[in-house]
Amino acid sequence: MNFTNLYRVPDEDDEGLQQLDTYLLVNSVGYYEFEAYFRMSHRPRGRKDFYLGYNYYGPMTVKLGGREYQLPPGSLFVFRPGDEQYYGHCGEKKFLSYWVHFTGSGAEDVLRAAGLDGEGPFRSGIHAEIADLFERIMSELRDKKTGYELASAAHLSYLFALFAREIEQASGEGRRGGDRDEIYESLKYIHDHYADELYVPALAERAHLSADRYTTLFKAVTNKTPQRYMNEFRLQKACELMKHTRLNIQQIAGLVGFNDSLYFSRTFKKTYGVTPSVYRAKYE
């Protein structure tokens, strides 16, 4: 199991914190990646703050309003203060979920503006930009630089705006026609084998689709071409390795599926605006 938990204030009792003298405030944030069965998370009386969960890949189970759901990748859900919280694995299959606990006098207003004031769950689709916003919030709570509470709340606000846009798009005809099991299985394969050499024709063949049809469906589900999605996913994994290991840039490039370290550096700078070395220096 891989996981990261970052806190604004200590939370040993796991009850959360309600703070209404600020409009929006992040209490804690993180992710968890489970490769096999683990106990379900269950808080019968909920917490004092809000919980937003985003299922990035793999299926997971969540209970909302007394009803149990099996969520596909690209789903999100919200628990309000006092709501029973029950979530975790689905069929002992691997999954990765990002989460954030937040509070504030404006929390309900923000959820309402984003169209998340219903019971849910909601479908936004799988987007590396969403995962990156969670990573940015994690960085703020990890470093706790001056203004980190304001910055983390700003990232959270933009996260809600992005969810609103993607949910609206996902509800359209194009996205409904593209939600295909073949693509979800292919995404799982990419997530499990991103370090290998992956080619669109081979991925399409695994999904029993022509390359053109595969690409069309893939874009409908993720809003990206397969190659762009793979590159962004690999770069995200590279960021994690640069933050948490002492491997050199060439080693990291190879571990995430880039055989050419120069191409990796160019792609990284084009995506993040800085070289890998400059990015890593922020966490040293």
Q: What is the pLDDT of residue 91?
A: 72
Residues 236 and 212 occupy one common structural domain: yes
Q: What is the pLDDT of residue 180?
A: 62
Residues 201 and 62 occupy one common structural domain: no
Q: Which residues contact 140 (CB under 8 A, 6 or more apart)?
A: 26, 148, 151, 152, 155
Residues 213 and 117 occupy one common structural domain: no
Question: Which residue stretches of the chain have pLDDT < 50?
Answer: 173-179
How far apart, in whole angstroms, are the C-alpha atoms of residue 274 and residue 263? 14
How far apart, in whole angstroms, are the C-alpha atoms of residue 122 and residue 221? 14
How far apart, in whole angstroms, are the C-alpha atoms of residue 255 and residue 71? 30
Residues 81 and 31 occupy one common structural domain: yes
Q: What is the pLDDT of residue 250?
A: 94
Q: What is the pLDDT of residue 54?
A: 96
Residues 34 and 162 occupy one common structural domain: yes
| CB-CB contact of 82 with 97 (8 Å) | no
- Residue that terminates a domain, selected from 118, 135, 170: 170
CATH number at residue 209: 1.10.10.60
Residues 90 and 29 occupy one common structural domain: yes
- b/e code 150-170 from CB counts within 10 Å (16+ = b): ebbbbbbbebbebbbebbeeb
- Residue that terminates a domain, selected from 137, 170, 203: 170
Residues 202 and 150 occupy one common structural domain: no
Provide the domain limits for residue 228: 178-281
Residues 156 and 199 occupy one common structural domain: no
